[in-house]
Amino acid sequence: MQHRHTDRKQYFTEQSNTSKEYYLNYVNAIHPLSGGMRVLEVGCGEGGNLLPFAEIGCRVSGIDISAKQIDNAKQFFLRERPVGRLRGVRLHERSVARQRGG
C-alpha cells in the first residue's frame, strides 16, 4: 500500500486533480456541464472526484457504504468551500441475498 492510500486528504486531493484534468472535459464533451446541474457518484469514498464538479457550481451527491468516508468527504468539502454543495449518503448495510429473501 502506498502512503497516499493512508493519507486520506492527499488521496482526496489527487482524486480531485485527476477529475479536474480528465473527467470534467470528458463529461462536458458528452453532456455540457453548467452550474446547478446534479452529479451523482456511487462509491464516492471521500468525494475527491466530485470536488471539481462542485467548483463549477454543480450540486453533487456521493453515495458510499462507508460512513467514515462520507464523514471525511463532508469535512474535506467544508475546507475547500466549493461553489456547489455536497450531499453525502451512506448505503444501508444489507446483503442483496437478504433483500431478495435468500
Confidence of residue 16 (pLDDT cuts 50, 70, 90): very high
Q: In whole angstroms, give the CA distance from residue 97 to residue 46.
A: 28
> What is the predicted pLDDT for the residue at 86?
72
CATH of domain 3-99: 3.40.50.150
Q: Cell triple for residue 100?
A: 431478495
| 22-60 tens-digit pLDDT | 999 999 999 999 989 999 999 999 999 999 999 999 999
What residues does each domain of the chain span? 3-99
Residue 74 burial by Cβ neighbours in a 10 Å radius (0-12, 13-18, 19+):
middle
pLDDT of residue 67: 87
Tell which residue, 90, 79, 18, has the closest CA to residue 48: 18
